[in-house]
A and B are shown apart, each in its own frame.
Chain A
């Protein structure tokens, strides 16, 4: 049996199709899980995909964290299960307290929708094991609230413990500011201390097929699936 990945759909989620496709292209089984569900339906891993859950009312992710499915997501994370938050999903896992810190309005006051270069800072997580340490990939971002902030103590801990998953970096020959949102220390994504909960603003699922001109994000999903191998067998 293939490893099963649940892609949670909240009202306002809009990246579930790309997330399903990216998992399937990497060889996994993926299905949409409704936000009203109370269990993960046997999933080995959970993706909280991008979008505008609940219309970003109040704050991005603030309402989604109370959706019925989130109890099962919390339990899964507490038991060491893999949880991946992409863009709005990252905002949701931060709001839910599964990752520290928060995502604020972009410093530039503009919605950022463009490719960015991110360096993979840690390669020992379920989403990054198929990358070389320090490898830089170019993937899209599309967000208005992606400026990662946390209190100084938390930031120091993230750096010391290697919980920064990926960071925006400047690549020679590109004009746009390398950091699309003004995030602290150029942080694009982080993981929890145990490494099983990950969140990032870039959208690797949107660029995981050569038919789209690049498959730079594909290995996020092959990494994810190889981390699960054996779980469901």
Chain B
């Protein structure tokens, strides 16, 4: 069956994220106090044919490891709609 997979790619903490920094600064300018650690990544939506939720999650993780995320600079999160 078809599963809907949400993949989030986040720049690894500790590496400079200039986009996140700029947005954090802008949020501060708008009066949002106490905002820290803003990081900007990517959200990828995928419909995947798989035998089970487990298989869908496994194949999505493999996609992340092989292509969607760069292991040097990014972490990823995979969620599958049940």
The answer to whether A175 has its CB under 8 Å from any CB of chain B is no
Contact at A149–B15, with CB atoms within 8 Å? yes
Would you give the shortest CB distance from B68 to chain A, in whole angstroms?
7
Q: Mark A154-191, 1 if CB is under 8 A from B, else 0.
A: 00000000000000000000000000001000000000
Q: How many residues of B contact A (CB 8 A)?
A: 12
For the complex, would chain B's binding face be called helix, strand, loop or mixed by DSSP majority? mixed
51-102 of chain A: CB within 8 A of chain B? 58-59, 62, 66, 94-95, 100-102
The answer to whether A109 has its CB under 8 Å from any CB of chain B is yes
Q: Mark B23-67, 1 if CB is under 8 A from A, else 0.
A: 000000000000000000010000000000000000000000001
Contact at A102–B22, with CB atoms within 8 Å? no
Residue among A102, A107, A149 making CB contact with B18, cutoff 8 Å: A107
Most buried by A among B16, B19, B73: B73
The answer to whether A129 has its CB under 8 Å from any CB of chain B is no
User: A59 contacts which chain B residues (CB < 8 A)?
Assistant: 70
The answer to whether A105 has its CB under 8 Å from any CB of chain B is yes
User: B19 contacts which chain A residues (CB < 8 A)?
Assistant: 105, 109
Nearest B residue to A150 by beta-carbon distance? Answer: B72
The answer for the CA separation of A59 and B66 in the assembled complex, in Å, is: 13
Q: How many residues of A contact B (CB 8 A)?
A: 20
Contact at B67–A62, with CB atoms within 8 Å? yes
The 7 closest A-B CB pairs, nearest first, are: A102-B72, A109-B18, A102-B73, A107-B18, A102-B70, A104-B73, A107-B16
Pull 11 A–B residue pairs with CB atoms less than 8 Å apart, ordered by A: A58-B42, A62-B70, A100-B72, A102-B70, A102-B73, A105-B19, A109-B18, A149-B15, A149-B72, A151-B72, A182-B18
